Amino acid sequence: MPRPWSSVPIEDNGEPLIALPAELLRLEPHPYVALGAPYGQAGCPFRLRQGVVERLLQAQAALQQQQHGWRLAVFDAWRPLAVQAFMVEHALREECRARGVDPQRPGPEREAVAAEVGRFWAPPSADPATPPPHSTGAAVDLTLAGPAGALLAMGGAIDAIGAISEPEHYASAAAEDPSSPAANWHRRRHLLQEVMVAAGLSQHPNEWWHFSHGDQLWAWRSGAAQACYGRWTGAGSGEGTVAVGNGIS
């Protein structure tokens, strides 16, 4: 199913993909590498376009002005298409297992699971006009960590499928009881959103952890006429040698 941002034109500015600096906390071992995702010769996943990295550092500085010692903790950054395809299939299998659905058996139950997974995982499209956000080097999945580096509770795991992952999921509960755990989770989600948006990134409408700058989703949410980052196929990407699956489509 096409995304609302799929028709946004792309004019890649050629900005390089660079490694995240030491100031930004990485969640290691990388979760998808640990699952066996096929990065191959594609290189380190903890890389983003230079302009995105600069904005992450701005967001972290703003965060620390409000909460001394807190840091952004990066869960995932750039993904080659083969990894996107692998993770879409993994998410589909896991969600089918959780719901007692056979992922190999076509039918309405499997299609319902695929539709729900598709709200969170972009198809691994090889079409240059519709790249997955993470394959552009523009998108990052991240959370908050305290002064000692311990992750802070956000009311739901990164990559969780369902309403719990929506940025405003706890808004009503927070309004009803400002002293509740739900209110605390809502405040943290809102703080993450606040510092990221102030630094020029846009949030995925279904995911509290996903932000991007320069891709089609960002252009759609910010009103920009075009995206400035397409799928990264530069030196060391390994994109020309991997096989891409069909995902859930």
> Can you give the residue ranges of every domain in the chain?
17-241
Residue with tokens 């198809």: 123
- Which residues belong to the active site? 207
Question: May I ask the CATH class of domain 17-241?
Answer: alpha beta
Which pTM value belongs to this model? 0.92
How do residues 88-119 score in pLDDT, each as one tens digit? 999 999 999 999 999 988 999 999 999 999 99
Mean of the per-residue pLDDT values for the chain? Answer: 92
Q: How many helices (H) and strands (E) does the chain have?
A: 7, 7
How do residues 195-230 score in pLDDT, each as one tens digit? 999 999 999 999 999 999 999 999 999 999 999 999
Residue 248 has pLDDT above 70, yes or no: no
How do residues 122-156 score in pLDDT, each as one tens digit? 999 999 999 999 999 999 999 999 999 999 999 99
Q: At 41, is the pLDDT very low, low, confident or very high (cuts 50, 70, 90)?
A: confident
Please spell the DSSP secondary structure of 167-235, one letter per residue: TTTTHHHHHH-TTSHHHHHHHHHHHHHHHHHHTT-EE-TT-TTEEESSSHHHHHHHT-SSBS------T
User: b or e along 217-234 (b: 16 or more beta carbons within 10 Å of the residue's beta carbon)?
Assistant: bbbbbeeeeebbbbbbee
